[in-house]
Structure 1
Amino acid sequence: MTRTRAFRQVDVFTTRPTAGNPVAVVLDADDLTVEEMAAFARWTNLSETTFVQSPVDERADYRLRIFTPGGELPFAGHPTLGSAHAWLQRGGESASGSIIQECGIGLVEIKVDGHRLAFAAPPLIRSGPVDAPVLAKVAAALGISRRRIVDANWVANGPEWIGVRLTSGEEVLALRPDMAGLGDLLVGVIAPWSAAQAQHRGADYEVRAFGPGIGVPEDPVTGSLNAGLAVWLCGAGQAPASYVAAQGTALRRAGRVHVDTDVESGTIWVGGASVTVVSGTVDL
């Protein structure tokens, strides 16, 4: 039965509206069916639409269902931060001091870090080298030779991301991928900026994310991918414990993802600013 529900559209990984990655957040979504949630996600046509529900696990503050236009995801980063922002803005309070989100991969901790929210990067559920035939397919679809790929690794933490490392941020921005060639693969590409470029851009790395198989040819700013890349690269000593990644440049966005490693616990926190752009109600 249709009823009026609280709604927010939040821009994530930015302090400036329209510069990050939007997520549509439907609050009070307990009674919505999977079919109704999926239909609304297709209708918004955003990379993700979320639905805040009462938790099943008593340790959680809320349960989050995350949908792309192509189906449900067990976890995604920018929807996690945007939904937490909307939940707090509406008056949500956590007894533990941190926000505990329940989702398809289990419980995810979210903390307030100054003017930013940050989630604890979940462990990889698939890691390790990418098989040669798959990597050859990725290189061909990206329009580059296999020799230009410095390294590649599975960095799946819900979404089945393949992480690809190139030499420079310029190479990342020059990519013109063949989306049909990527097929169902989820591919994230990262490379460092020079010291001079990093100072100019306010970012140490450039990242792009491609997921045509889930209805998102290029995602503006991707929390799950950046979390997986950080677990891989920081864990292998190929990236510093803390850095800033730029994403969305090729789409005329200006997303900034902050990665910070807690030296005592080893927890990798992935965060950024969020800003509400649309606030009101939706009839579903």
Structure 2
Amino acid sequence: MKLPYFLLDVFTRDRLSGNPLAVVLKADELSSTRMQAIAAEFNLSETVFVLAPKVERNTATLRIFSPVNEMPFAGHPTVGAAVLLGLQNRLSAVRLELGVGNVTAVMEKMDKRTGEAKFALPRLPERTGELTDIAAVAARLGLSESDIGCDGMMPAQYSAGNAFYLVPLADAKALERIKLERRGWTDTFSGERNSVYVFAPTPKERGNDYAARMFHIAHGSGEDAATGSAAAALIGLLAEHGGYGDGHHGLKVRQGREMGRPSEIGVQFNIEGGVLKHAGIGGPAVILAEGIIDLGE
């Protein structure tokens, strides 16, 4: 069995920045066990497998795996796969079937190896947990309690398909000072998912509104360069407590700078009558490499 695959850098237009992604095509004959093994072999934050759609009018079914488990939704695999399939098939609308629901991504070609995709979230973000021990949160991040919180927002857990503990900081300089204390991590950030998305406003930076870092200690890989599903969850906190009124809001979130993998995620949301009614994310992706997986079968 030989399967074509592509490597892309997502949430960036520049190769060797953003968040790397492996996309494996024609994966219909692979078992879940094989997919998991291939994802572990690539050892990227996510690998996405492209299968034939269950509904004919759709473009593809996607299955998304981290090195250790399957995920119902993740932002950068959705964006990367949409750009790749859009470029390959000359599509401006890519209809994808995900574990969390169906997504229609609008894809704009930039050149033969680069595109930009954006899509409405199949599930609006919602608050899924509390995080009230500010001293413990600060200790896990190597910060002081005065660093935690900004613009009326305080830590809490939100999910738009994948749950994240969202930790607002007073300013972006605090992001640079983070020194993780792994002892006690799962006690402070408890539950099945203890991924932590730390963010801060960037009023003095041109071209973006927030800066963020994402840590997922349980997966062993530490920090992620660009996390679309975390930015999707962030929309929930911003809509409820960020001071955004009724209307349409489009924001930019930078991530990955501290890792040397700068990235930019676009988030959009509509508030009507004080209630979040629509949310979406998007960004660019560029094809870096391609090859063949030879399973010798």
TM over 0.5, shorter chain:
yes
SS of 2:130 mapped into structure 1: coil
* Aligned residue identity for 2:26: D
2:262 & 2:254 partners in 1: Cα distance? 7
Deviation at 1:252, TM superposition (A): 0.7
1:273 aligns with 2:271: no
Deviation at 1:255, TM superposition (A): 0.2
Task: Assess if the C-alpha contact under 8 Å between 2:140 and 2:185 holds in 1.
Answer: yes
How many residue pairs get aligned? The number is 274
Deviation at 1:171, TM superposition (A): 0.9
Q: TM-score, normalised by structure 1?
A: 0.87
SS of 2:234 mapped into structure 1: helix
1:23 aligns with 2:21: yes
Q: Alignment partner for residue 185 of structure 1, among 183, 186, 194?
A: 194
1:6 aligns with 2:11: no
Counterpart for residue 229 of structure 1:
234
2:200 & 2:159 partners in 1: Cα distance? 19
2:143 & 2:252 partners in 1: Cα distance? 26
Structure with greater strand percent: 2
Give % identity. 34
Deviation at 1:146, TM superposition (A): 3.9
Q: Alignment partner for residue 84 of structure 1, among 82, 85, 102?
A: 82
1:51-70 mapped onto 2 (5 Å cutoff): 51-58=49-56, 60-70=58-68
1:123-138 mapped onto 2 (5 Å cutoff): 123-124=123-124, 126-127=126-127, 130-133=130-133, 137-138=136-137
Task: Assess if the C-alpha contact under 8 Å between 1:98 and 1:110 holds in 2.
Answer: yes
Counterpart for residue 165 of structure 2:
162
1:109 aligns with 2:120: no
1:42 & 1:128 partners in 2: Cα distance? 29
SS of 1:209 mapped into structure 2: strand
* Aligned residue identity for 1:110: A
2:131 & 2:262 partners in 1: Cα distance? 33
Deviation at 1:266, TM superposition (A): 4.4
Counterpart for residue 256 of structure 1:
264
1:228 & 1:11 partners in 2: Cα distance? 22
Q: TM-score, normalised by structure 2?
A: 0.84
Uncovered stretches (5+) of structure 1, i.e. residues with no partner: none
1:216 aligns with 2:221: yes
1:117 & 1:47 partners in 2: Cα distance? 20
* Aligned residue identity for 1:244: K
Task: Assess if the C-alpha contact under 8 Å between 1:125 and 1:157 holds in 2.
Answer: yes
Deviation at 1:105, TM superposition (A): 0.7
* Aligned residue identity for 2:203: S
Runs of 4+ in 1 over 4 A off after TM superposition: 262-266
Deviation at 1:114, TM superposition (A): 6.9
Task: Assess if the C-alpha contact under 8 Å between 1:69 and 1:215 holds in 2.
Answer: no
Distance 1:179 1:119, change over 3 A: farther
2:129 & 2:148 partners in 1: Cα distance? 13
2:64 & 2:101 partners in 1: Cα distance? 13
1:167 & 1:204 partners in 2: Cα distance? 14
